[in-house]
């Protein structure tokens, strides 16, 4: 693997999440195409993309900053999931699956943040 981020487990989990969210968003009603569907997909993509950007040989402080942005994007996905659940676009089982997946990812990102020395 040529790039540092490719060896990061959190990046691999994050791109899996982005793929899963993309598939989920395709099931939302058409009238959500340019609102909730777009928002949840962009937030999910942002998680992995900020990990990539932060791992590109920048300072530890900059990497931590971008990892924090990844965490915020992951929480944004959770917020979108709550909206989707309230609007009956997803069932409780799918909500719980995604919620748990994101909770695990957020913990992984936070552990990486905590392990990086300034």
Domain range for 83 is: 4-115
- Residue written as tokens 């959190």? 10
Q: What pLDDT digit, counting tens, does each position of 53-88 carry?
A: 999 877 999 999 999 999 999 999 999 999 999 999
Sign of torsion, CA 77 13 21 38? Answer: positive
Q: What is the pLDDT of residue 64?
A: 96
What CA–CA distance (Å, rounded) separates 21 from 89?
13
| CATH code where residue 25 lies | 1.20.1440.60
What CA–CA distance (Å, rounded) separates 57 from 69?
17
Helix, strand, or coil here: 89?
coil
The two tokens of residue 34 are 């340019």
Q: What is the pLDDT of residue 4?
A: 87
Q: pLDDT above 70 covers what percent of the chain?
A: 99
Query: How far from 83 is each of 36, 53, 55, 89, 91, CA to CA, in Å?
Result: 8, 29, 32, 9, 12
Q: In total, how many domains does the chain have?
A: 1
């Amino acid at each position: 693997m040529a790039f540092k981020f490719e060896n990061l487990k959190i990046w691999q989990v994050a791109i899996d999440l982005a793929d899963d969210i993309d598939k989920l968003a395709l099931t939302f009603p058409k009238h959500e195409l340019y609102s909730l569907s777009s928002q949840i997909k962009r937030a999910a993509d942002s998680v992995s993309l900020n990990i990539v950007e932060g791992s590109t040989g920048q300072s530890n402080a900059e990497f931590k900053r971008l990892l924090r942005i990844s965490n915020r994007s992951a929480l944004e996905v959770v917020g979108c999931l709550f909206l989707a659940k309230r609007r009956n676009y997803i069932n409780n089982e799918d909500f719980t699956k995604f919620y748990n997946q994101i909770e695990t990812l957020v913990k992984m990102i936070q552990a990486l943040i905590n392990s990086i020395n300034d």
